[in-house]
Amino acid sequence: MTQRTHFQLFIDGIWTEGSAGQVMTSQNPATGEDWASFACAAPDDVDRAIAAAHRALSDPAWRDISQTARGKLLSRLADLVEKNAARLGEIETTDSGKLLAETASQTAYVADYYRYYAGLADKIEGAVLPIDKPDMHVFTRREPIGVVVAVVPWNAQMFLTATKLGPALAAGCTVVLKASEIAPAPMLEFARLIEQAGFPPGVVSVITGDAENCAIPLTRHPDVDRIAFTGGPETARHVVRNSAENFAVTTLELGGKSPILVFDDADLEGAANGLIAGNFGASGQSCVAGSRGLIHRPILEALIAKIEAKMQSVVVGDPLDAGTHIGPLCTGAQIAKIETTLAAAKEQGAKIRFGGERLDRPGNYMAPTLVECPNPNTETLKVEMFGPVMSLLPFDTEEEAIALANETEFGLGSGVFTENLARAHRVSSRLKAGICWVNTYRAVSPIAPFGGYGQSGYGREAGLEAIQDYTRTKTTWINTSDTPMANPFVMR
């Protein structure tokens, strides 16, 4: 990919430039060089995408096909995603800096999300109600909620698209996907698969652009019925305010400062691997990063020694190279934030056990870093840095560990490492987080709901319940009596 590639918007089944002619460039984080350009949507393009989605809801080509047929379209999309996983992975790696080994395998696995919702498409059911009125047949049915706006960030695009698009299409909705203006190339390329799968025009459009010209008019548009947003809390507040204009049902999947609790009875090998996966997997660019390691004091030094030993063989380098373990960060701004946060932590008495510096090479490379923190107020324990920084803090008792874990405004992921089954149940039940992994970390599945508490958002993605969030319940009353309806002005 040495020649610059250009990506267009996909609106109403047509590839197009933005109506205002705005074009942005995307840098390869591994080299710092521009590698692609992409068209940006203007308010007119947003109107066109929403109008197409609104029209498609009533178009017999989408409205009248059976739920089973919708499932078959999703199955076809799943096959295309799986077939093109390597190509999509290479584009995502070049655009975002994530390891090719991760982007290609994650994209291939994402096909199972579309297959899962393909299987649920014809299992969206209503009910006949045992109503307390004579001669009344009353039943419910679940209908598509309508036009969905799905806002997806750059850091796990194929996964976060599937958790929204899969249930929305299975429910019969239409969707406008908004890719981040940072590294949007894989989502714009993914739109080709939507086209190839055979979805009718307007059912899915894929656009990108800045906040003023794209995101704001999109999330406040009067014809939007539902918003599914993944991103940061500050942006989410703007989305919620915008949704006051259209009363769109809104779900938010936001950031986190997830705790990983390691008790003195834990398997240290597994715990070290869990901490490394939770902090250095995806170069730390994960909303569920386990960036607050809470370690039982008696094993702190032994665990640090094991982590340090494992990190000796970790390769930081070209994300397209199969031998690389940690790649660059997506943007230079992330490194600047990490450097500022580390400086503040050192002033507070934190000890940098390894790493702590930007690597002297082209691209956005940050050395994987381990910080030993003196107290819970250490800056690295509070700030979501979105980079490869692990912070460890000792605790003395189980109660203290739980209190420290819950001492945060976030509540997305959490982890517990212990060989004591009773403790695993006891502690996991008290952690204020939407996900708890025990003796593992960062595992996901289309079958398992994903979402958080507090500043980590509300609503759930994936799992059986997610599909219900893309429907509305309609209640129908049928008078089965031969007797005409009684005079409403005669009370009996």
When the candidates are 2.102.10.10, 3.40.605.10, 3.40.50.1950, 3.20.20.70, the CATH number that belongs to 5-254+452-476 is 3.40.605.10
253 is catalytic: yes
Q: For residues 98 and 79, give the distance between their C-alpha atoms in angstroms, rounded to a whole number.
A: 23
Q: What angle do CA 192, 198, 202 make, to 5 degrees?
A: 75
Spatial neighbors of 486 by CB under 8 A, at least 6 apart, are: 492
Where are the domains positioned within the chain? Answer: 5-254+452-476, 259-438
Q: Identify whether the C-beta of residue 59 lies closer than 8 Å to the C-beta of residue 288.
A: no
Q: Compute the distance between CA of residue 104 and CA of residue 110 in angstroms, rounded to an integer.
A: 10
Q: Are 18 and 45 in contact (CB under 8 A)?
A: yes
Whether 259-438 and 5-254+452-476 are alike in CATH topology: the answer is: no
The answer to whether the beta carbons of residues 151 and 227 sit under 8 Å apart is yes
Residues in the chain, overall count: 492
Q: For residues 152 and 170, what is the distance between their CA atoms, to the nearest angstrom?
A: 19
- Report residue 167 as tokens: 């249930």
Q: Find the Cα–Cα–Cα–Cα dihedral 453, 454, 456, 461, rounded to 10°.
A: 40
Helices 85-96 and 185-197 cross at an angle (nearest 10°) of 160
CATH number of 259-438: 3.40.309.10
**Residue 378 and residue 394: Cα distance in Å, rounded?**
13
Q: How many CB atoms lie within 10 A of CB 175?
A: 27
**DSSP collapsed to 3 states, 118-177:** HHHHHHCCCEEECCCCCCEEEEEEEEECCEEEEEECCCCHHHHHHHHHHHHHHCCCEEEE
Per-residue pLDDT of the chain (492 residues; tens, 9 = 90+): 456 899 999 999 999 999 999 999 999 999 999 999 999 999 999 999 999 999 999 999 999 999 999 999 999 999 999 999 999 999 999 999 999 999 999 999 999 999 999 999 999 999 999 999 999 999 999 999 999 999 999 999 999 999 999 999 999 999 999 999 999 999 999 999 999 999 999 999 999 999 999 999 999 999 999 999 999 999 999 999 999 999 999 999 998 999 999 999 999 999 999 999 999 999 999 999 999 999 999 999 999 999 999 999 999 999 999 999 999 999 999 999 999 999 999 999 999 999 999 999 999 999 999 999 999 999 999 999 999 999 999 999 999 999 999 999 999 999 999 999 999 999 999 999 999 999 999 999 999 999 999 999 999 999 998 999 999 999 999 999 999 998 999 876
Closest to 118 measured CA to CA, from 82, 155, 156, 154: 82
User: One of 102, 181, 253, 379 is an active-site residue; which one?
Assistant: 253
